[in-house]
Amino acid sequence: MATRGIILAGGSGTRLAPMTSVVSKQLLPVYDKPMIHYPLATLMLAGIREILVISTPTEVPRFRELLGDGARWGISIAYAEQPRPEGIAQALLIGERFLDSGGEGGGGGGRDGVALILGDNIFYGQGLGTQLAREVASNEGATIFVYQVRDPQRYGVAELDAAGRVLDIVEKPAHPRSSFAVTGLYIYDREAVEIARALRPSARGELEITDVNNAYLRAGRLRARVLSRGTAWLDTGTPDALLDAASFVSVVEKRQGLKIGCVEEIAFRLGYIDAAQLRALAAEYRGSDYARYLLGVLGEAP
């Protein structure tokens, strides 16, 4: 079973107002690149080359202008609209036709699996791409990624047993039973769309991704992978979180001389594009530090 990617870049971004009054938060910069480049890079590192970007009717044309069809990076990017933000699980329903590799209205028989990532989540760590690619290839059912946090009540919280098996997942609990937050990256098999279709809106009127995960849990088909202490997981939904993420990226890039979430470099190192194509991409950014970095990847002086 093949796996395609979905980036959910919708929502109203109210916690970032007034910055988001006229622009999607996923188009805001996180240090030296647009926010959406980071989840796009994560999917690429996982070996996923067919990706659907979901956003509001107003923002889809802007994402299309920024990212195009993905061919410049050796991938394929499609787009779909989310008329109203009605929960993360809604992305599975919006993306149904995209996942139906058997053709339009394929009825699920030719449906691909999906790696769903939130457009405001940033993942970084040594060997993370290899780990994600392995999890995508071996997934049977659903795979979630959990991360130890100081304030789990802000997130969906996974309770694990001593062997790392999931016992329960609770959305934003007042009294969390663990410190493991469920991150905004989910890998599902082809059943995810039907599970999402059977959901009823929660008290806040949304189709909750936690309910999808718990459906897999009840079926005995959910596994959790704990992201190590050497991995960074950042969400950028508040002004402080956005500033922290930009500062983190800045510090790491300046210290190491390597970029985080550089989709051009990833495409080149994975063999999706060749040296001539990377050189052409660098030319588009001529005069910037970003262009000089891309030329440095090729071992060429700017």
Q: How confident is the model at residue 22 (pLDDT cuts 50, 70, 90)?
A: confident
Q: What is the mean pLDDT of the chain?
A: 93
**Where do the structural domains in the chain lie, given as residue ranges?**
3-271, 274-302
Identify which has the larger pLDDT, 106 or 29. 29
pLDDT digit string (tens) for 36-76? 999 999 999 999 999 999 999 999 999 999 999 999 999 99
Q: Does residue 282 surpass a pLDDT of 90?
A: yes
Q: Does the pLDDT at position 102 exceed 60?
A: no
* Fold assignment, 3-271: Spore Coat Polysaccharide Biosynthesis Protein SpsA; Chain A (3.90.550)
pLDDT at 107: 45
Residue 13, pLDDT > 80, answer no
pLDDT recorded at residue 111: 83
The predicted pLDDT at position 14 comes to: 83
**pLDDT, position 193:** 97
Q: How far is CA 200 from the centre of its chain?
A: 24
The dihedral of CA 30, 34, 36, 39: what is its sign?
negative
Categorize the per-residue pLDDT at 11 as very low, low, confident or very high, splitting at 50, 70 and 90: confident
The pLDDT-based confidence of 101 (bands split at 50, 70, 90) is: low
Q: How far apart are CA 39 and CA 62, in angstroms?
A: 17
